[in-house]
């Protein structure tokens, strides 16, 4: 690929976000004046995952370069299902489920952009493709869209061919038709918004090219010419080869109801040194000089995790806001013994200690004189025997709710945090959450 000359493509190139382009004259096209481009998000859940954040990052850089972004939420395509990257047919969602998902995703995406009502020239626009697909009839689609598609070419798409070659999986006509829907979306946005660029992950390249071809054929039918272009970004894997956005606990979501702000922050804090530079380039709007400065500072003292802290703060702020960022930063300090546990509200306390070992006990045991900690520790993951428990207590290695205790320490009702939890720590990192129930 020739060296990118326009600010937008140059920005993607140094960030490692430029995989493919399609369309002759893209650089000239972008340099002439502000353009309109879009990314599509299918509402398969009520929240985008952080995998969607890669495509949204392309659009954020597009807007920063002075162009106009469109976020397309697939209220129609979400009813069909994209076969790309799937080895089996999706379960179809109901219209009500898709409508709900679209509404929820829209609210989550809004903080990431400046919108049209704030900046008419470069402000983002949010659209739902059900708004135009809902008014199209089957015959209209066959005549106006289907006639431009060769079945021979369609079955050569990777997303289709892979499924056709596996007889046990196959592909339905419904999913086979998905590329027509996505192609027509590009055509519709070209007609109504002057949109000339679609961006996505590299797995969508074939679908985008189909849209570009449809735009040209539609114009040719009227004796005209039309410009349409594609930009794709590499599919992201972590340095260990595992899929980005997946953890042992499942997907990482942008919705705080699916992934708590604390867990979201911790995902970025736990980025490996091998990944963190790439993540800074992909998910933040930091300038090149700032990112390279962060990397240099990090290289001098990797144990301080400077790059991870800057990454986690910026992405959490963008998704969850300044107030939630402050809460999770305070909670993180508490986890490492630099804050007061009693200042955490019950919800944050549960989030912070959701993954530590825990046990459940009768609250009545805490009444009167309570429970001797030397007797209780062997019931947790922090000591194997009463003898070992006494040694830890004598050595000053045990804390209750963040305060060091001695050999005679007892757990009482006054130790309960929010009336239900006592947190015990041994050493610097080993925690145990004891839950006390009536």
Tell me how far apart the alpha carbons of residues 153 and 166 are, in angstroms, rounded to a whole number.
19
pTM score, whole prediction: 0.84
Q: How many CB atoms lie within 10 A of CB 138?
A: 8
Residue 144's alpha-carbon distances to 135, 183, 188, in angstroms, are: 14, 12, 12
Tell me how far apart the alpha carbons of residues 314 and 321 are, in angstroms, rounded to a whole number.
10
pLDDT tens digits, 396-406: 999 999 899 99
Strands (E), 319-427: 358-362, 371-372, 398-400, 403-404, 410-411, 421-426
Q: What is the pLDDT of residue 10?
A: 95
Band of the pLDDT at 88, cuts 50, 70, 90?
Answer: low
Residue 2 or 187, more confident:
187
Q: What is the pLDDT of residue 410?
A: 94
Query: Are 88 and 219 part of one and the same domain?
Result: yes
- Which H or E run contains 104? helix 95-109
Within 8 A by CB and 6+ apart from 68, the residues are: 34, 35, 36, 37, 121, 122, 123, 124, 125
pLDDT tens digits, 23-32: 999 999 999 9
- Residue 87 pLDDT exceeds 80: no
* Helices (H), ranges, 336-404: 346-352, 373-376, 386-394
Average pLDDT over every residue of 35-50: 94
Q: What is the pLDDT of residue 342?
A: 83
Give the rounded percent of residues in the chain with a pLDDT score beyond 70: 91
Residue after which a domain boundary falls, among 198, 233, 268: 233
- Which H or E run contains 197? strand 195-201
Q: What is the pLDDT of residue 148?
A: 76
In a domain, 295, yes or no: yes
Domain that holds residue 278: 246-351
Band of the pLDDT at 247, cuts 50, 70, 90?
Answer: low
Query: Are 344 and 392 part of one and the same domain?
Result: no
Query: Are 341 and 380 part of one and the same domain?
Result: no
Q: What is the pLDDT of residue 1?
A: 41
Query: Are 28 and 96 part of one and the same domain?
Result: yes
Query: Are 253 and 202 part of one and the same domain?
Result: no
Residue 100 or 83, more confident:
100
- Residue 337 pLDDT exceeds 70: no
Average pLDDT over every residue of 333-362: 84
Q: Which of 164-173, 218-227, 365-374, 424-433 has the lowest mean pLDDT?
A: 164-173
Query: Are 14 and 157 part of one and the same domain?
Result: yes
How many Cα neighbours within 13 Å face the side chain of 426? 22
Give the rounded percent of residues in the chain with a pLDDT score beyond 90: 64
Query: What is the residue-averaged pLDDT of the chain?
Result: 89
Domain count, the chain: 3
Backbone angles phi, psi at 14, to 5 degrees: -70, -25
In a domain, 300, yes or no: yes
Residue 179 or 158, more confident:
179
To 10 degrees, the CA torsion angle through 201, 205, 210, 216? 90
- Residue 65 pLDDT exceeds 70: yes
Backbone angles phi, psi at 215, to 5 degrees: -60, -45
Band of the pLDDT at 2, cuts 50, 70, 90?
Answer: very low
In a domain, 238, yes or no: no
Residue after which a domain boundary falls, among 290, 317, 351: 351
Q: What is the pLDDT of residue 70?
A: 98
Query: Are 165 and 305 part of one and the same domain?
Result: no
Query: Are 46 and 191 part of one and the same domain?
Result: yes
In a domain, 229, yes or no: yes
Return the CATH number at 382: 3.10.290.10
Q: What is the pLDDT of residue 163?
A: 66
Average pLDDT over every residue of 291-295: 97
Query: Are 151 and 215 part of one and the same domain?
Result: yes
Residue 104 or 333, more confident:
104
In a domain, 240, yes or no: no
- Residue 45 pLDDT exceeds 50: yes
In a domain, 66, yes or no: yes
Query: Are 343 and 364 part of one and the same domain?
Result: no
Query: Are 396 and 329 part of one and the same domain?
Result: no
Radius of gyration over alpha carbons of the chain, in Å? 27
* Helices (H), ranges, 353-430: 373-376, 386-394
Average pLDDT over every residue of 255-282: 94
Query: Are 193 and 266 part of one and the same domain?
Result: no
């Amino acid at each position: 690929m020739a060296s990118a000359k326009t600010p937008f493509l140059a920005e993607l190139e140094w960030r490692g976000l430029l995989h493919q382009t399609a369309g002759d004259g893209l650089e000239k096209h972008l340099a002439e004046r502000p353009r309109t481009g879009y990314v599509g998000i299918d509402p398969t859940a009520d929240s985008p995952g952080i995998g969607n954040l890669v495509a949204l990052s392309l659009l954020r850089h597009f807007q920063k370069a002075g162009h106009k972004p469109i976020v397309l939420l697939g209220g129609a395509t979400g009813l069909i299902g994209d076969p790309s990257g799937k080895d089996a047919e999706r379960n179809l969602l109901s219209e009500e489920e898709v409508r709900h998902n679209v509404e929820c995703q829209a609210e989550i995406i809004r903080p990431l952009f400046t919108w049209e009502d704030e900046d008419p020239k470069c402000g983002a626009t949010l659209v739902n493709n059900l708004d135009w697909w809902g008014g199209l009839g089957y015959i209209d689609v066959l005549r106006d869209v289907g006639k431009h598609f060769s079945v021979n070419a369609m079955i050569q798409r990777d997303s289709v061919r892979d499924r056709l070659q596996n007889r046990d999986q196959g592909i339905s006509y419904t999913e086979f038709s998905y590329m027509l829907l996505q192609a027509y979306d590009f055509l519709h946005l070209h007609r109504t918004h002057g949109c000339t660029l679609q961006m996505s992950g590299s797995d969508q390249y074939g679908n985008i090219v189909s849209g570009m071809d449809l735009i040209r054929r539609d114009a040719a039918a009227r004796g005209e010419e039309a410009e349409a272009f594609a930009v794709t970004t590499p599919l992201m894997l972590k340095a260990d080869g595992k899929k980005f956005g997946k953890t042992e606990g499942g997907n990482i979501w942008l919705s705080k109801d699916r992934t708590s702000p604390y867990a979201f922050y911790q995902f970025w804090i736990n980025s490996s040194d091998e990944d963190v530079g790439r993540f800074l380039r992909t998910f933040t709007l930091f300038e090149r000089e700032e990112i390279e400065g962060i990397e240099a500072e990090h290289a001098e003292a990797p144990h301080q995790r400077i790059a991870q802290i800057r990454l986690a703060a910026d992405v959490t702020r963008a998704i969850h806001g300044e107030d939630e960022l402050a809460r999770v930063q305070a909670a993180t300090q508490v986890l490492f013994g630099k804050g007061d546990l009693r200042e955490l509200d019950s919800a944050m306390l549960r989030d912070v200690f959701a993954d530590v070992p825990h046990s459940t006990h009768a609250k009545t045991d805490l009444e009167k004189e309570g429970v001797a900690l030397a007797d209780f520790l062997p019931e947790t993951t922090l000591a194997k025997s009463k003898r070992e428990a006494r040694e830890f207590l004598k050595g000053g290695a045990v804390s209750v709710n963040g305060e060091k205790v001695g050999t005679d320490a007892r757990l009482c009702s006054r130790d309960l945090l929010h009336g239900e939890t006592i947190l015990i720590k041994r050493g610097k990192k080993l925690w145990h959450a004891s839950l006390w129930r009536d």
